[in-house]
Structure 1
Amino acid sequence: MFLKTETITAKKMIGFSIKTTMANDQTVKIWQQLMPRLKEIKNAVSADLFSLQIYNGETFEEFTPTTAFTKFALVAVKNYDFVPENFQQFDLPAGKYAVFLHKGTSADFPKTTHYIYAEWLPNSEYTIDDRPHFAVMGDNYLGHENPETEEEVWVPIQ
Structure 2
Amino acid sequence: MNPKITTLLEKKLIGCKQNMNYAAYNPVPLWQSFMPVKREITNAVSTDLFSLQQFSAGFWEQFNPNTNFEKWAAVEVSDFDTIPANMDSLVIPAGSYAVFDYKGDGSDAATFFEAIFTDWIPNSDYVVDDRPHFEILGEKYKKGDPNSEEEIWIPVRLK
TM-score normalised by length of structure 2: 0.92
What corresponds to 2:76 in structure 1? 76
- Residue 24 of structure 2 aligns to a residue whose secondary structure is coil
- Residue 34 of structure 2 aligns to a residue whose secondary structure is helix
What corresponds to 2:138 in structure 1? 138
Distance 1:147 1:64 in 2: 30
For residues 93-132 of structure 1, the C-alpha deviation after alignment (integer angstroms, 9 at most, x for no partner) is 1110000011112221012112211111111111111111
Aligned length: 156
Q: CA deviation at 1:29?
A: 1.8
Provide the identity percentage: 43
Distance 1:25 1:157 in 2: 24
TM-score normalised by length of structure 1: 0.92
- Residue 36 of structure 2 aligns to a residue whose secondary structure is helix
Q: CA deviation at 1:64?
A: 3.4
8 A contact 1:18–1:26 mirrored in 2:
no
Q: Which runs of 5+ in 1 are unaligned?
A: none
- Residue 107 of structure 1 aligns to a residue whose secondary structure is coil
What corresponds to 2:28 in structure 1? 28
What corresponds to 2:52 in structure 1? 52
Distance 2:54 2:13 in 1: 14
* Match runs of 1:88-107 below 5 Å: 88-107=88-107
